[in-house]
Amino acid sequence: MDAFRTEARLILASGSPRRRDFLADLGIAFEVVVADIDETPLTGEQPAEFVARLSREKARGVDIPDAWVLGADTAVVVDGEILGKPGDAEEACAMLMRLSGRWHEVWTGFSLCCRATGESCTKAVCTKVRFLELTPELCRAYVRTGEPLDKAGAYGIQGKGCFLVPEISGSYTNVVGLPMTEVLEALLHHKVIALLDDL
């Protein structure tokens, strides 16, 4: 049984299968329309500002005025530097070895907006992640799986890379790509969804 009823048309402005799964698993009805935007950080832009801006641009990049649009963006940050997706296996290994044995941050921004009403909200959420101490051999073995090549920071906590993370401080779903506690609060607040409370 589902916990929520969808009250308004909802568009997910993301092609991420993990973001789709989070919403679908809760019984929230939505459509996917991927917004194509430039994801280059601006000079001097802080991680929270970066993910908030990109999520806002993704949400506003979908031109369906009568719908609520949810945009999101996730960034892995170490030493204040935003790590994107690696260009190749060598770059993936370099990123992973940089994270090895250390704490880093994962920031996800999300933006919910409706053009017809002019309502919107944007939030950035941070989770701290501790990485396993990696040997070069273990690093190469993981990179050989192919998983790191399409992931920011070169790892996926919800996939084959689950063994890389012995500890987190904060939201797990935020690391995967959508801080569901905060997203649900926003969807309920703006009456995009409602609780089903009959047992």
Q: pLDDT by residue (tens digit) across 100-147?
A: 999 999 999 999 999 999 999 999 999 999 999 999 999 999 999 999
Active-site residue identified among 2, 25, 63, 73: 73
Here the tokens at position 50 are 């970066």
Q: Output the pLDDT for position 197.
A: 77
DSSP for 83-133 reads E---SSHHHHHHHHHHHTTSEEEEEEEEEEEETTTTEEEEEEEEEEEEPP-
16-43 residue pLDDT tens: 999 999 999 999 999 999 988 999 999 9
Q: How far apart are CA 149 and CA 168, in angstroms?
A: 22
Alpha-carbon Rg for the chain, nearest whole angstrom, is 17
> Is 25 known to be catalytic?
no
Give the start-to-end residue ranges of the domains of the chain.
4-195
Q: Which CATH architecture has domain 4-195?
A: Alpha-Beta Complex (3.90)
Fill in the amino acid letter for 101: G
Q: How far apart are CA 78 and CA 183, in angstroms?
A: 25
pTM for this entry: 0.94
Q: How many helices (H) and strands (E) does the chain have?
A: 6, 9
